[in-house]
């Protein structure tokens, strides 16, 4: 599956990433590579949790 990830940079040079299709998936980091890894993990956790409820 593919999800859109929105990444913004705030006034303190911190990257903020969110996934509009999955409410609550939001991470912030100083490094763009770190944030992509963390957002992938968050998506996996949400998808696994969703499967547990089905």
pLDDT digits (tens, 9 = 90+) for 7-53: 999 999 999 999 999 888 888 989 999 999 999 999 999 888 877 77
Kindly list the domain boundaries of the chain, sorted by start residue: 6-53
Instruction: Supply the DSSP string of 1-54, one letter for each residue.
Output: -----EEEE-TTS-EEEE-TTSTT-EEEESSHHHHHHHHHHHHHHHHHHHHHH-
- pTM score > 0.85 for this model? no
Residue 19 has a CB neighbour count (10 Å cut-off) of: 19
State the sign of the Cα–Cα–Cα–Cα dihedral 32, 33, 36, 37: negative
Q: Are strands 6-9 and 15-18 parallel, antiparallel or unpaired?
A: antiparallel
pLDDT > 70? residue 4: yes
């Amino acid at each position: 599956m593919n999800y859109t990830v929105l990444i913004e940079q705030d006034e303190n040079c911190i990257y903020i990433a969110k996934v509009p299709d999955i409410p609550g998936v939001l991470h912030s980091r100083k490094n763009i590579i770190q944030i992509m890894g963390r957002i992938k993990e968050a998506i996996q956790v949400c998808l696994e949790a969703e499967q547990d409820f089905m």
